[in-house]
Structure 1
C-alpha cells in the first residue's frame, strides 16, 4: 500500500446535547454521509465540549452518541477503534470535555499506538473505550492550560489531548485542542490582536513548545485540529463595515447592555455591536464572501510553523441551532473560522496532494452552532518515525 487515505474531523458538539433527540441524529447522519463519500481508511474525530454545558446531566447522551457512531453501518469495516473521552467533570484542574475518537479500516495492514508513559509502541487490535477519568491512560497525552492563562484565573474547559499513531509504517501525532473564546465583542473591538487573541496565541505557542521540549516523546509530524476559537480581526472588520457610517452609543445604566450602532446618512441602522450582539443589516449574506478572509489573522504568529490548506468554505461559527434554519448565522458574533485542521510544516514530507479536500460537514443541515470541519488527505506509507529538532 503506497498511501493511506485519512479523514480528519473537528467538531464542537456542545449544543448537540441541548437537543439530542433531533440534532444528534442529524449530526451522525451527515457525518456518515461524509464517510461513505470519501472512503477513508483511517478516521480521526476530535470533539470539543462533549456533553454540553452540564456534563453530569448529559453523560447518558454522550454514551449513546458514541455507541451510535461506532455501530453505524458505515463503520462496520472499521475493526480498530480507540475512544478517549474526558468525563472527569468533578475536577476543575483536569476536565477538558475533549473527545478523541479513532477508527482504523480493515484495509490498513499495520497500525500501532504510542504509550507516552513507557515510550513504546502498543498493538491496536480490537476496540478500546476510555471513559470517565482518563488521566492514567498512557496512550494519550492530555493537559489543561496553566491557570494563569485563563481569563481572571478561572478554570474553564480548555486544553489539548494528543495521540501518536504508526499507520502503515508512518508515524504521526493527532492533537485535539480547544482555545479561549471572545467573551465580549466590545472588548475585542478595541484593538488587534485583542486580549482574547493574545490568550489564544499564548496557549497555542505554549503547547507547541511543550511538544518541542518533550525529550521522552520526541516531536514527530503532527495534525493539530480542534476548536481554536480563531476570530476575525474584529477592529478591522468593523472599520471595513462602517466606512461612511456614523457611530452612536446607546445609553444604558448597565455596562453589560452597552451598544454601539453605526448608521448611514439617512439615519438607518446598518450595524449593531454589543457585548454578545453583532448584527449587520445584511447579516446572512455579508459574511460569506472572500473579503472576510483578509481579517482571519489569529494564525499569523505561527507562520512557517503551522500549515493549512486554503479555506474555500463559509465561516464555521456561529450558526442557529434550530433545525429549520440550518444555514443561518446567529447575530451574536462576527462569523469566523473557529474550527480548523492544521499541520506541522514537516507534514508536507509525508503527505500527498492527491485528492485532498478541506470543507464543512452538513453545510445545509443543522449541526449545532458549529459546523464540523474535515480534511481528507493521503499520507505516504513506510515513512518511518521522522524526528524533527
Structure 2
C-alpha cells in the first residue's frame, strides 16, 4: 500500500449465536458498511457438539448467501469441527469478509512465511492443523485454545481466544484474586508470548473472543453484603461448603445473596444494568495485569454474560454467575495507535455490544468498529 493509504472501516466481533449470525449480524454489517469484517466465535456447534455440529455448515452457507454480504466476494471461514479428536479440538470459528471496494488484500502464509493475495471465498473445516494460512494451538489441559490469522488491510494479526471459566462460585469467592483468575492470567500470558515471539515478524495484533474475565467475586460480595451475616451450609457426605446465604441483620433477615456452585442469586439484579453496570468496573481487575502489553477501549456497555437463554427475556441475566464482561476486544499498543491517532475524531471508534433486546444465548456480542480513520502505511 502507498503511504497515507486510508485505513478501511472495519468491524471486529466476538461470540455469535445462530440467531445473531443470520439476523442481527447482517443487519449490523448493513448499518456500518465496513470494508473489512472479522468475526470470532467460540463453542461452534454449541455445548452439545455431537448433536449440533452437523448444522454448522448449513448456518455458514446461509450466512454467506445473505443479502448483506453480497458485496463481500472475498471471504475466509475457518471452523474447527473435528470434535472427535479431543486432543486438538478447540470449537473455535473465525470468519473474515472483505468488501469489493478493497483491492490487493493479502493474508499471511505461516508455512511459506509470506503474504498471499486473497481471492474468492474459501471455507476450511476439521483439518485446521494442516492449513498454512493460520496458526491453531490448543493449550495443555489447564489452558484453553487460540487461533491466529494475519492480514494486510494494514498488516496486523487477528487472534481468536477462549479462556477457562469459573467452575464454582463458591471457589471463586474464596480469595482475591480467585484461583480461576490465576489460570486465565497464565493462559493469556502464554498467548501473548506466542504472538510476540521470534518465529515471525512482530506485527500489531487484535485479540478478541471469550476471555471469561470475571469480576473479583470476593470483593463484589463484600461490597454487596457489607452489613449482612452469612450462613454456611455444608454437604452432609463431604463436609464441603455447599451453599452460602447472606442475610440482612434487620428487615426480617431478608436474603440478600444466595451462593452455590452454579448459583449467584443477588436480590438486586438492576445494579448490573444501571448506567450499564459501569460502577462495577472497579472489580474488573483481570485485564490490569496486562496493562503494559494490552490496551482496550473504554467500556460503556453492560456485562456481556450470563444472559437468560429464554427467548422472551433478552435483557435479563441468569442467576448462575455474577455478571461480568467476559467477551472483550483488546489490542497491543501499536494496534491501538492504528485506530486512535490523535488527529482522528474520538467518535470514529465504537466499542459496544449489540442485540441488547435479543436473546442470543448466554453471551451478548461485543463489537468494535472504526470510521474515517487514516494512517501511514509502509509500502508492501
TM above 0.5, yes or no, is: yes
TM-score, normalization by structure 1: 0.90
Deviates more, 1:376-385 or 1:226-235: 376-385
Flag as ranges the 4+ runs of structure 1 deviating above 3 A: 254-257, 378-382
Match of 1:208 in 2: 192
Structure 1 residue 194 displacement after superposition:
0.9
Q: Assess if the C-alpha contact under 8 Å between 2:278 and 2:302 holds in 1.
A: no
Partner in structure 1 of residue 280 of structure 2 = 292
1:155 corresponds to: none
Q: Quote the residue 1:347 is aligned against.
A: 335
**Equivalent of 1:367, from 352, 360, 364?**
360
Assess, with a 3 A threshold, how the Cα gap between structure 1 residues 90 and 380 changes in structure 2: closer, same or farther. Answer: farther
Cα distance change, pair 26–87 in 1 and its aligned pair in 2 (3 A): closer
Indicate whether 1:9 and 2:26 are aligned: no
Partner of 1:281: 267
1:177-218 alpha-carbon deviations (Å, 9 max, x no partner) = 0000000011110112211000000000011112222x2312
- CA shift in 2, pair 1:242/1:219, >3 Å: same
**2:296 matched to which residue of 1?**
308
Once the 2 structures are TM-superposed, how far is the Cα of residue 40 of structure 1 from its aligned partner?
0.5
Alignment of structure 1 residues 109-188 onto 2, 5 Å:
109-147=103-141, 149-150=142-143, 158-167=144-153, 170-188=154-172
Residues 268-297 of structure 1: CA deviation (Å, up to 9, x unaligned): 1111111110001112x1212322110001
Pick the aligned partner of 1:237 from 220, 243, 261: 220
- Specify whether residues 385 and 278 from structure 1 end up closer, same or farther in structure 2 by C-alpha distance, changes over 3 A only: farther
What does residue 43 of structure 2 align with?
49
Unaligned runs of 5+ in 1: 17-23, 151-157
The Cα offsets for residues 239-268 of structure 1, whole Å up to 9 and x where unpaired, read as 000011111123442557711111112211
Measured in 1, the distance between the counterparts of 2:132 and 2:288 equals 34
Aligned position for 2:79: 85
- How many residues are matched? 364
Range that drifts further, 347-356 or 43-52:
347-356
What TM-score do you get using the length of structure 2 for normalisation?
0.92
Gaps of 5+ in 2: none
Q: Which residue of 2 aligns with 1:267?
A: 253
